Chain A
């Protein structure tokens, strides 16, 4: 990659920052060059983020219908999936999946809720409030 080929595409997923790439000048000498973004890369990032948002919206709808606990929706909101949440909370995946059921989630002990709260960076009270938002 030559210095003048270092991409400077706007609307990147860098949030206004630039990142460093390595490129060669006319004499073929390497140097670091800031890049504001590369369109194929931003497309890939945005696609992955959109996928998580779609999963979150779906889980949110299920929660609002009373078919799921808020846990699944929060999991996607905090950019996790089932294996990640299970590992962070230190639980088996089947237990986490069981807690997606509203009637089971409502009876969870404080110590279990505390594990989820820590995973999301919330307090237990904040986590409980999500349950009360139900219609």
Chain B
């Protein structure tokens, strides 16, 4: 195995997968890993509460990227969880001592190298372990600029933290990574899958219908509940920007994927779609700014209708884009089948 090189990423799971694949001989950028795993999504889940607020996700649920990408690339994924933390520690040590690069799922709150402002109870963070030195683990946390270190006790606490999405010490690594891939087919398949997630499910909370649903929730906010409204609107912004998304709730990362994919297979449609996805991302950022402006404004009854209209505009643009990408993927599929 060649020397490990840390790469900073926007998002933990796509960053870990891109690093694992690149290290195993299949060079992969983070946006490519994200796009090929069809990571882009939107979901508004009022039943799942985070600090009393609904869960708003801009991507597929945790572990989706790892599983989907491994399957599509025909890679052998070995993943293990442990009911006994001590066994989890031994298994990690053995894997590291045999020279493996190991992906780990852990809690954010118990990792001491996170600054206090960024610590919250989120158990589905992903990072890489690439070695040991004394009582320290050498870690490559994809959202940080440089590699970090963590003591055994701290890492154990973070890997075996309880609560929602508990990691149970999940560790994973890849084998049988082939550098030979049918890129045209992979890209077609993953784009088609994304169009179906965003614009093809008959559920009111998922995809573009979810964005419209969020728009009507924003519209229906009671102007008298100033404090709740402030927390609600900034909660949306946090879900979209704070949790490593590469900006605009993964829209910029997906646009970057479309561009790279378009160049890889020499397809102008994808490159054009990338430019438009960037424009959608810019609108998401404008929407975030508007949410914060509305939470800041003091006095007078705030009008939430313009913010809801911005969301409907975004939903409309994403729907048109998904329809075109869907038609492109199906057309491609027919041609290659002949």
Chain A interfacial positions (CB closer than 8 Å to B): 1, 13-24, 28-30, 32, 34-35, 38, 40-41, 43-45, 47-49, 51-52, 78-81, 83-84, 87-90, 118-119, 121
Contacts and interface: CB of A to CB of B under 8 A. Distances in A.
Contacts of A17: 115, 144-145
B262 to A, nearest CB: 11
A44 B292 contact: yes
Given A32-B8, A81-B52, A87-B163, A13 B117 contact: yes
A67 B280 CA distance: 52
Contact of B8 (A15, A20, A49, A119): A20
Contact of A22 (B31, B52, B161): B31
Contact of B238 (A18, A30, A41, A88): A41
Interface of B: 8-10, 30-31, 49, 51-52, 109-110, 114-121, 143-145, 157, 161-164, 230-231, 234-235, 237-238, 241-242, 244, 246-248, 252-253, 255-256, 259-260, 274-275, 278, 281-282, 285, 288-289, 291-292, 295-296
A44 B253 contact: no
Contacts of B109: 78-79
A41 B260 CA distance: 28
B259 A30 contact: yes
Q: What are the 9 A-B residue pairs with the smallest beta carbon separation, nearest first? A: A15-B115, A44-B234, A30-B256, A40-B292, A22-B252, A13-B117, A21-B247, A88-B163, A44-B237
Contacts of A40: 237, 241, 288-289, 291-292
B109 to A, nearest CB: 7
A16 B110 contact: no
B162 A48 contact: no
Given A20-B9, A22-B247, A83-B49, A28 B275 contact: yes
Most buried by B among A28, A29, A30: A30
A118 B51 CA distance: 21
Nearest to A41: B241
A22 B253 contact: yes
Chain A binding site: helix, strand, loop or mixed by DSSP?
A: mixed
B119 A119 contact: no
Q: Is the interface of B mostly helix, strand, loop or mixed?
A: helix
Contacts of A118: 162
B162 A47 contact: no
Nearest to A12: B117
A121 B157 contact: yes
14 contacts: A1-B247, A13-B242, A14-B117, A15-B115, A18-B145, A20-B10, A21-B252, A22-B246, A30-B31, A84-B163, A87-B164, A88-B162, A89-B162, A119-B162
Taking each of B117, B235, B238, which has the highest tally of chain A beta carbons within 10 Å of its own beta carbon?
B117
A19 B252 CA distance: 14
A44 B293 CA distance: 11
A44 B51 CA distance: 14
B76 to A, nearest CB: 29
Contact of A15 (B110, B117, B289): B117
Contacts of A121: 110, 157
B241 A14 contact: no
A13 B30 CA distance: 24
B121 A80 contact: yes
Contact of B117 (A18, A49, A87, A89): A49
Contacts of B282: 1
Given A15-B115, A16-B115, A88-B162, A47 B295 contact: yes
Nearest to B244: A19
Nearest to B236: A44
B255 A79 contact: no
A38 B119 contact: no
A70 to B, nearest CB: 19
A41 B256 CA distance: 22
Contacts of B278: 1, 24
Contacts of A18: 145
A32 B242 CA distance: 17
Highest count of chain B CB atoms <10 Å: which of A1, A22, A45, A79: A22
